[in-house]
Amino acid sequence: MKLKLATLAALVGMVTVPMHGAAPNLPKTGLAGSTHDIGANGCKSCHAPHNGSVANGGAQSTGLILLWARSFPAASNTFGVYDSATMQNKAVELGGSSLTTSADVRMYSLLCLSCHDGVTSTFSPAMQTKNMVGSKAAFGAGAFESLGLTNDHPVNMNYDPTKNTSLQSVATVGAALPLFGSSSTVQCATCHDPHNDVNTNYLRQPNNTAHCTTCHL
């Protein structure tokens, strides 16, 4: 495991966002042939060794962050926030400002949305609409997309069992799934590992009840 973490760190240059616990990063060997192996480009599907998205015809210098090869969602884009009458542990709007540093925990969601908002990526292959979680600002028509992240499990949310006693402890969750940043935020990458599809849907854990109960006591 240590070896793999070291490998990851070597690949992306640096990882400055602290993660809680020793959440596993699945080996990237599950990438080849998956839907994230876009056009059989492998790592290049998302990463560029130099100059970020500009090297791929994009307009942004995104390479500072995980050598990201795609454009980020526009800074002005907002995605909406899941909320409910009983929810105490509120999520925070993911969009609305530029991603400029890998110390920003939003990275672990916004990078995903550079394709999965359904509008940003300029060389995205055909994506099923059900996989477009969307941008409220950019969409108006599509049934899924227009709702942005309001109809998706909340992300960019501090994981705080003191606000919801039916949540497992940070330590328990952190041992199985990564929570990002000093306030233990839930991001897309908490549940999903984009490099490995062995569990389907790029889930870090098998797609079963236990995955949900990792957090939901």
What's the CA gap between 1 and 189, in Å, rounded?
18
The verdict on 79 binding another protein (CB under 8 A) reads: no
d(CA 34, CA 27): 13
For residue 159, what are its two tokens? 């994981």
Q: Which lies closer to another protein via its Cβ, residue 92 or residue 103?
A: 92
* Cα angle: 73, vertex 179, 150; to 5 degrees: 45
Shortest Cβ 89–another protein spacing (Å)? 10
Range in contact with another protein (rule: CB under 8 A) among 7-15, 21-29, 90-98, 139-147:
139-147
Q: And the tokens for 41?
A: 């480009």
Q: What is the 3-state secondary structure (H, E, C) of 22-72?
A: CCCCCCHHHCCCCCCCHHHCHHHHCECCCCHHHHHCCCCCCCCCCCECCCC
Give 52 or 118: the residue with its C-beta nearer to another protein. 118
- Residues near another protein (CB under 8 A), total: 31
Q: Does residue 22 interact with another protein by CB under 8 A?
A: no
Residue with smaller CB distance to another protein, 85 or 141: 85
In terms of Cα–Cα distance, which of 42, 40, 67 is closest to 53? 67
Which range of residues in 23-31, 41-49, 56-64, 162-170 is near another protein by CB under 8 A?
162-170
Q: At 74, is the secondary structure helix, strand, or coil?
A: coil
Asked if 205 is part of the footprint of another protein (rule: CB under 8 A), the reply reads: no
Q: Would you tell me how many other CB atoms lie within 10 Å of the CB of residue 163? A: 12
Q: Assess 35 for contact with another protein (CB under 8 A).
A: no
Binding mask 83-102 for another protein (x = CB under 8 A): xxxxxx--------------
Q: Which of 9, 149, 8, 14 is nearest to 79 (CA)?
A: 149
212 lies in the site for another protein, by CB under 8 A: yes
Is residue 6 a contact residue for another protein (CB under 8 A)? Answer: no
160 binds another protein (CB under 8 A): no
Binding residues for another protein (CB under 8 A): 82-88, 130, 133, 143-144, 147, 150-153, 161, 164-166, 168-169, 172, 191, 207-209, 212-213, 216-217
